[in-house]
Structure 1
Amino acid sequence: MGAETGILGSAPDALARILDQAPPVVEDALRGQTRLTGPWGHGALHDHLPAMEGHVIITYYGEPQDIVWRRGAERLAGATRSGTITIIPEGHEGRWDIAGPIGVSHVFLSRERLRDCADQLAGGRPVELLSRVGFEDPAAARIMELLGRDAAVADISARLFVEQATDLLVTQLIRGHSSFAALQQQARRGLADWQVRKVTAYMRDHLDEPIGLDALADLIGLSRFHFCTAFRQATGSTPHNWLVGLRIEQARRLLADRELPITEVALAVGYETPSSFAASFRKLVGVTPSGFRQRI
């Protein structure tokens, strides 16, 4: 995801041109010309957003909506759920499709503010934010909720709180959503524990459906190739074998209900035919599903 060449426009102005209303940016800028909005809302969006000056961080309120970003062959997708964030790094452009209406709040983060924090964490090395779309980060989302609450409060204590909370947000972005974070993760090898938990939870919630590698990789913002490598480093298992293990684990529980036909158990854990289910079950458990049921 590269940057546009030429002069970039301000992010609030660019958003105002494609939304049904302008972002209600708080008049007073923070240190480094970073700007905030309180919680607000806009309707559906189906338009191209040009490259912008500064970084845009968004969190969401209210009813979830599907959200998709596309540029050429690149595509990121998510949902505007509470506890998630979207990051549009400076210079990134593309088409946005949001079902809408949605509740949002924004942080328009200047490159200066990002650099000041990055210098402390990365020892002067350049840090680039990663694109995120409806990405789960409850910590960053909660900080943004607090910022939105106090964004327009004029007293000195609120201003101090907002400045310090903004530094905390930027630190979280660098730690979890930047090139610096990617280097740190590579040094640790594999996925973080929360990433394994997120992938596992998704698998458990969709055991009765086909689950592709692309969908799993998108959950944690990795390419398919890097996801497979990192998952195996973290768990000692391929994503496929991990999924099979979860399916057979659930099948063992379902088989305890003798009123439930084995064919329905197979369908409930994602197998289209009893024969493929029996083969997988026997490989892991050592007996067929019917043999297992007889033993319990």
Structure 2
Amino acid sequence: MGNVAENGEFIRIVGGRVLSNTVVRTPVIRIESFRRDVSKRVQWHFKQPELALFLYKRGARKLRGKMDGRPFDQQLAGNLAVYPAGLEIDGEFTVTSARSEYTVVFFDQAFISERLPCFSAAPRLGFDNPAITFGLEELCSEPHHDDVYAMMAEGWAIQTLAFLQRMSGAKAPSANRGGLTQCSLKRISEFVEENLGRSIGLTEMASLVGLSTRHFIRAFSESTGDTPHQYVIGRRVERAKRLLVSKQYSLTEIGLAVGFSHSQHFTTKFKKHTGVCPSHFRAATRE
């Protein structure tokens, strides 16, 4: 067996041989990614005290067994699955590859209770959601040792919980809302515009309005519809678009001038926001 761990509330018994395993922790989520050598059928016994979201990247196609003692047999039509905290699954995966790859995210219960006090999630196997998948893959590819990563992780977690809440058919409670004042939003906006050419820390932004980083992320998202990280990237892209109209600067110079760490980072984020790469955008403005 690849992993064997059991202590009542925590059960993880997984077939196959682990080839690699990475773990990333933030204040609100823990991300574990695995690659395994597996046979055609993989035994899996799982129970966690946290809400778990799985992204099956390769191998898994069908899961059958018992879920809290009730039998089930389901094809995985999509690459995502959600297992509520405390749910016990004792089953068997059917796989189509000798190598299995997957990522699992565990959500901090205190964070869920604070953000969505009435949150509830039913087991859901084999569904697709491009926004959840893309955001998680981006988190897995980013450096994860700074405040910016924590900001990205919390923003993704908030959006994912909202998606899951909506899929469950329950309405999010409205009593726990509270955004930033117009004065605070203006202060943040001016600060960002003045500092686009350098790294902008989450703690810097939060301190401008006298909030903790966690409360700032929540309040900012409720006021603008974007996480602070998304907002900053959007402003960098808008500044870059203005500079691209001119022939005065190279693409590399523009990327660095608006705060991207290197040219590839600039190209990736610019294309994500506009649908075209910087060079094509510049060419189009000259036609």
Which protein has the bigger strand share? Answer: 2
Q: TM-score, normalised by structure 2?
A: 0.47
Q: TM-score, normalised by structure 1?
A: 0.46
Which protein has the bigger helix share? Answer: 1
